[in-house]
Structures are given as C-alpha cells and as structure tokens.
Amino acid sequence: MQAVFKKRSILPGFWPSFSYTTLYLTLIVLIPLSAVFLKSFSVTWAQFLRSVTAPPVLAAYRLSFGASLVAGAISTIVGFLVAWVLVRYEFHGKAIADALVDLPFALPTAVAGIALTSLYTEGGWLGRYLTPLGIKVAFTPLGVIVALIFIGLPFVIRSVQPVLEDADQELEEAAASLGASRWQTFYKVILPMTRPALLTGFALAFARALGEYGSVIFISGNLPMKTQIAPLLIVAKLEQYDYAGATAIAVVMLVTSFLLLLGINGLQRRSARFLERAR
Amino acid sequence: MKLTTLLTSSVTVIFAAGAFAAGPVKLLNVSYDPTRELYQNYNAAFAKYWKTKTGVDVQIAQSHGGSGAQARSVLDGLQADVVTLALAYDIDVLAEKGKLLPANWQTRLPNGSTPYTSTIVFLVRKGNPKKIKDWDDLVRPGVGVITPNPKTSGGARWAYLGAWGYALKKNGGDQNKAQDFVKRVYKNVPVLDAGARGSTTTFVQRGIGDVLLAWENEAFLAVNELGKDKFEVVVPSISILAEPPVAVVDKVAAKRGTTEIAKAYLEYLYSEEGQEIAAKNFYRPRSEKIFAKYANQFSKISLFTIDELFGGWTKTQKTHFADGGTFDQIYTPGA
C-alpha cells in the first residue's frame, strides 16, 4: 500500500485527511459522474456513436468548445488587466470595483442572459450602434462568446489577483535597473510569476463556460446547426425522454473537458516548477 | 449537476389560498406554464365546492414548468396526485415508462380527458403593418416569425402542426408540399427560444419579429396585460385544436389515499363553474352552453385535431419531432 504514495509525509494527520478527501470526492463527484456514464452504457456502441456524431450534435460541440475556448482566452487577457489595475493602482471607488467583480458569480445566469440579450439586440442600447457597423451579437455565435466572457471573467481575476498582490515589486525594479525594457520586464518577470494563476483562471473560466446553459440560451437564438450549444441539445433529448442519448452527449463533453483540464493542469504544474527553480 | 438544479428551481410551488384548517387533505396538481392563473382561480373554487359538499378541507398545491420537464419530474418521483399538461404525449409517457396510470387514461374522462381546449393564433404589432392575415403570409420574404423550438417546447409543437395541417388541407393532403411549406415558415424564424414565455419576451419586450405564434389564451393575456394599443390578435382561417389533457396519477393517488378527491377535482373541471373559469382564462370550454355565453370572446375558426390529421401524439412525435424527424430535416444542409 505504501508504494502507491510518492513518499511518506512527515506531517501528522495524513490518513484522516486523505480518507476524508477520498470520501468527499467519491460522494460529491465520482458517484454522480458514474451515474451519467452508466446511463449512457444502456445503449449499444453503435447507437452511442450515432447519437454523438449526428450533424446537429457535431455542430453544437464545435460551438460549445470553440466559444468556450475563445471566451476563456479573452477572459484571461482582460482578467489579467483588471486584476493588475485592482492590485497596482489606487483610485476612488476601488472597493466598489473590487466587489463588482464577483457579481457575475451571484447573479442567476438567466438574468444575465436576458440582460445581455436586451443590450445587444438590434434595438438594444449597444445593439443599435453595432448593427449599422454590420456587427450582429445577439442570436449569433458572437453573442454566445459575450455571455461566456461575462460569466468567466471573475474566475480569472480572482485567480490572478492574490498572486499579483504577493509579487515582489523589487523584482520588477531590479529588472528595470538591470536595463530591461518595460516589455522585457513584463515578459520575463511578471508573466512567468503569474502564468500558473492565469492557467488556473483560464481552466476555470473554460470549464464553467462549457457547462453554461441559463445565460446562453437567451442570447444564442438556438438555431439548429448554427447557434445551438451542446447543453441545449441535452435538454432537447430529455424532452423526448431519450435519457441515454442525452447522457451520451454529456459523456463526450465530460471526457473531452476532463482531458483538456488535465492538459491545462499539467501545463500549470510545469510553470509552477519552473518558478520554483527560478527562485 | 447544473441541469437538475435548473429543473427543480423552475418548478415553483404555490399554495392555494384558504382551507388552512387543521388537517386538510393535500393535493398536488403538476401542470405546465400558462395554466398558472387558471388553476389559481379553479383551486379556490374547488376547495369551496368540496367543503360545502363533504365538509372536508382541501389544500391544493400547484407546480408549473415546461410540460415535458414537469412530466419528467413526476416520472422521477414527484408525488403528483393529478397532472394537467400541455399534450397527451407527456401523460402517455407516464403510463408507458412509469406505469403510473393505465394506458387507456384518456378514455376515463369526457372529450378524451381534455376539459378545455385552445388553439394557435397570431399576435401581431398594432395596425398589423405587415398585413398578416393567414398562414400563407408567414412565408413571405421579410416577415419575421417568432415561435419557440418544438424540440424543447410543447406549445411550439402545436404551432408547427398548425402550419403543417394548414398546408395539408390547402394542397389536398400532399405531405411533401406541407413539409416544404413548414420549411419556408421556419426560414423566417430568426430566434428559436427554448420555451413559450421566452418567445413572448423576444417578441414583446425586444421588438423582434412581426408575428408571434401563440396559444390563444397567451395571446389574449398578452394583449390585455400589455395594452391593446401595442398588439393585435389575428386569427387564421384554420388552425389546430390544442387539447391539453388532465389525468389522475393512479399510483400516487392510491398511495396517498387521495383517489376519490383527485377524481372529483378533475371531474369538477367539466362542471358549469369549472367551464366558466376556463373560459374566463381564455381557454375554450367544452360545454356548449358556456361557450355560447363567451362566444364573442372566441373568434369563429375552423379547427382540425391532431387525431384527424396526424394520427395521435405518439406517431406525431416520432414523425416530426424525434431525432431525424421532419423538424430536424428543415435544418439539415442540402435536404
């Protein structure tokens, strides 16, 4: 049994805390997820393949994964910027700005979806200026991305903020005094320090976006082959009492996102190790 | 699990007023979205009637949500004594998959267990600027049609079949021509909301589209509540008779010992008072007497039934709305 673990920790309380972790993960994560898998096994392999490779389903996967990746990437860049401003600058209303960041966490997503849709439709506050420019947001894949950025942004900000707060400003000053340009300071000092946190934020925002339903169905328009997200197809399948088909779509999403998250976590561990060595 | 949270939270339970005396009989009516006002009125009336008749207090709880989602909750164990849903298919499923009531449930009450009916009409903007008079006008270029996704909304399925039935009758029963017609209608649909209320919001609040395909009762409610100066109801020459069915969930009622009162609750819907409450809420009553009384409220319209034209719900569901059905074919490239 000992061989299973990397090395024996000298910290006391390993077994109680490890057992609790295992129990918790099993009850909260593994059992519900196994139920999903078991349900999808109630069909034959051929039926499973047919469910998950039907053209509308493939189109929905493309939209869900594509929009979530793009939204995650944009959230990461913008989120970094917001975190930087919140940590490094002093300004009036900073406390309010800081509290505003968490609001998308608390808002029921349907409310967010309805509000965003009203803003971006042709007659909406923003939509009326965008439409003459030929930019359509509501009821297009762009609208899906906008909604996903909205719900994903806080994850990045809250991941990066503490790291920036802990960062030694002397390091930047040292870089500058050694003749580094501002870009070099950013690229060689700040970015490596925050990279693990940025990756975490990206992973969280991406994963959240992938499962998002409430806000997206209002702004996407739900046109088959064009703006239907995968979770909507799951609901449509349930509506036909096709539980196995619904879980088949879910299983593909679960496995794909698990692999993606595993990859991101790997990247993150690597940059964290790199950081350890640099110190 | 995101989905389940969503489903449970969409189920709102409202307790009927009155009848809070010690140990009243409790009844749960699981219904679909637009019947909220109807059953609020009806529950109060029934509680009063039952108290006078038997001296027993009854307390009726209502639960509303999408018809399919509601049926799934009951299938998964929600203790509904009676269900009052949007289409017979959703109760058929309770009989077939859940064995909660016998397969012949529709024969147990008059009129195929549908005490009130409705139909699909058009809601247009004031003055009807696009001159929308009948189903044909929906396929004209430049007309925006708002209707929910038939895959996720029961009401949308009635609208879809309304368009299909119209084209069938017009083209002497030619299914291909009907399919082509429906395809052209959906080419004019810019947004497919997940549910009927979502579509109403899109049309009314966001000002998108020129015509909303709506339940007759929802259309009247929208006009009455949002102002006659903004919207008009247009009644097409012909439409589908939407028959929302009701049934006692035998297994649950037997377990909870409410069979007798659950039966009475549904039967009273056919009484004069029940029919009148339905009419007041813009549902078409089955009783000819009550219908005559409210005749000026319901425009004359030729109605076809789903059994006549489509051969019942189970078959219709399979042909039109299952995966690969006619609705999917509309959006299949090259088809």
The per-residue pLDDT for range A140-191, each reduced to its tens digit, is 999 999 999 999 999 999 999 999 999 888 888 899 899 989 999 998 889 9
What's the CA gap between A102 and A59, in Å, rounded?
32
**Within this chain, do residues B250 and B323 fall inside the same structural domain, yes or no?**
no
Looking from the CA of B188 toward its CB, the CA atoms found within 13 Å total: 21
pLDDT of residue B15: 39
Minimum-distance CB partner of A223 among B192, B201, B322: B192
**B189 CB-contact burial (10 Å; exposed 0-12 / middle 13-18 / buried 19+):** buried
- Among A278, A136, A161, residue whose Cα is nearest residue A219: A136
Query: Please, which pLDDT band fits residue A208 given cuts at 50, 70 and 90?
Result: very high
Minimum-distance CB partner of A234 among B3, B190, B205: B3
Query: Please, which pLDDT band fits residue A195 given cuts at 50, 70 and 90?
Result: very high
A194, A163 contact by CB (below 8 A): yes
What's the CA gap between B335 and A64, in Å, rounded?
25
Are residues B3 and A242, on separate chains, in Cβ contact within 8 Å? no
In a domain, B281, yes or no: no
Domain membership of residue B213 as a residue range: 117-242+301-330
**Within this chain, do residues B136 and B205 fall inside the same structural domain, yes or no?**
yes
Are residues B331 and A139, on separate chains, in Cβ contact within 8 Å? no
CA of B150: which chain A residue's CA is closest?
A: A236
Place of tokens 């409430």: A214
Domains in chain A: boundaries: 44-278
Residue B121: give its domain's CATH number: 3.40.190.10
**Within this chain, do residues B233 and B258 fall inside the same structural domain, yes or no?**
no
What's the CA gap between B110 and B286, in Å, rounded?
9
Domain edge (last residue) among B223, B251, B270? B270
DSSP string, B256-319: HT-HHHHHHHHHGGGSHHHHHHHHHTTPEES-HHHHHHTTTTS---EEE-HHHHH--HHHHIII
pLDDT of residue B194: 84
What's the CA gap between A89 and A102, in Å, rounded?
19
- Among B116, B87, B24, B6, residue whose Cα is nearest residue B61: B24
pLDDT one-digit tens code per residue, A58-112: 999 999 999 999 999 999 999 999 999 999 999 999 999 999 998 888 889 889 9
Are residues B191 and A222, on separate chains, in Cβ contact within 8 Å? yes
Distance of residue B23 Cα from the nearest chain A Cα, in angstroms: 37
**Within this chain, do residues B150 and B54 fall inside the same structural domain, yes or no?**
no
pLDDT of residue A243: 86
Query: Please, which pLDDT band fits residue A237 given cuts at 50, 70 and 90?
Result: confident
Query: Please, which pLDDT band fits residue A238 given cuts at 50, 70 and 90?
Result: confident
**Within this chain, do residues B98 and B122 fall inside the same structural domain, yes or no?**
no
What's the CA gap between A213 and A240, in Å, rounded?
19
pLDDT of residue B133: 94
Query: Please, which pLDDT band fits residue B16 given cuts at 50, 70 and 90?
Result: very low
- Say yes or no: A217 contacts chain B, CB-CB below 8 A: yes
B223, B233 contact by CB (below 8 A): yes
Is 3.30.950.10 the CATH classification of the domain at A44-278? no
In a domain, B61, yes or no: yes
Using the predicted structure, report yes or no on whether residue B3 has a pLDDT greater than 60. Answer: no
| Rounded CA Rg of chain B | 20
Using the predicted structure, report yes or no on whether residue B60 has a pLDDT greater than 90. Answer: yes
Using the predicted structure, report yes or no on whether residue A259 has a pLDDT greater than 60. Answer: yes
Vertex B319: Cα angle to B316 and B320 (nearest 5): 80
Give contacts of A245 with chain B, Cβ < 8 Å: 323
pLDDT one-digit tens code per residue, B317-331: 999 998 889 999 988
Are residues B3 and A231, on separate chains, in Cβ contact within 8 Å? yes
Distance of residue A240 Cα from the nearest chain B Cα, in angstroms: 7
DSSP letter (8 states) at residue A240: T
**Within this chain, do residues B227 and B255 fall inside the same structural domain, yes or no?**
no
Count CB-CB contacts under 10 A for residue B288.
10
Give contacts of A237 with chain B, Cβ < 8 Å: 323
**Within this chain, do residues B140 and B50 fall inside the same structural domain, yes or no?**
no
**Within this chain, do residues B66 and B209 fall inside the same structural domain, yes or no?**
no
- Among B88, B148, B155, B93, residue whose Cα is nearest residue B120: B155
Using the predicted structure, report yes or no on whether residue B56 has a pLDDT greater than 80. Answer: yes
Using the predicted structure, report yes or no on whether residue B19 has a pLDDT greater than 50. Answer: no
pTM of the model: 0.81
Using the predicted structure, report yes or no on whether residue B335 has a pLDDT greater than 50. Answer: no
Among B21-35, B79-93, B186-200, name the one with the lowest average pLDDT.
B21-35
Instruction: Mark out the alpha helices in chain A (DSSP H runs).
Output: 14-25, 31-40, 45-53, 55-88, 94-101, 103-106, 109-120, 127-130, 141-166, 169-177, 182-185, 191-211, 216-220, 230-239, 243-278
In a domain, B285, yes or no: no
pLDDT of residue B334: 58
Count CB-CB contacts under 10 A for residue A42.
12
Tell me how far CA of residue B141 lies from CA of A140, A268, B188, B191, in angstroms: 21, 53, 7, 16
pLDDT of residue A6: 67
Using the predicted structure, report yes or no on whether residue B4 has a pLDDT greater than 60. Answer: no
Place of tokens 């499923």: B93
**Within this chain, do residues B326 and B189 fall inside the same structural domain, yes or no?**
yes
**Within this chain, do residues B39 and B177 fall inside the same structural domain, yes or no?**
no
Helix axes A230-239, A55-88, angle to 10 degrees: 130
In a domain, B325, yes or no: yes
Q: What mean pLDDT is predicted for residues A31-37?
A: 87
In a domain, B280, yes or no: no
pLDDT one-digit tens code per residue, B100-157: 999 999 999 999 999 999 999 999 999 999 999 999 999 999 999 999 999 888 889 9
**Within this chain, do residues B72 and B159 fall inside the same structural domain, yes or no?**
no
Question: Rounded to the nearest 5°, which phi and psi values hold at B256?
Answer: -90, 0
pLDDT of residue A244: 86
In a domain, B278, yes or no: no
**Within this chain, do residues B131 and B66 fall inside the same structural domain, yes or no?**
no
pLDDT of residue A2: 52
CB-based contacts of B118, cutoff 8 Å, min separation 6 = B215, B216, B217, B242, B244, B282, B283, B284
Distance of residue B11 Cα from the nearest chain A Cα, in angstroms: 15
Query: Please, which pLDDT band fits residue A44 given cuts at 50, 70 and 90?
Result: confident
pLDDT one-digit tens code per residue, B295-304: 988 888 999 9
pLDDT of residue A140: 92
pLDDT of residue B91: 95
Count how many domains chain B has: 2
Q: What mean pLDDT is predicted for residues A217-237?
A: 90
Query: Please, which pLDDT band fits residue A5 given cuts at 50, 70 and 90?
Result: low
In a domain, B151, yes or no: yes
Q: What mean pLDDT is predicted for residues B82-108?
A: 93
The interface pTM score, or ipTM, of the predicted complex is 0.73
Mean predicted lDDT score pLDDT of chain A: 89
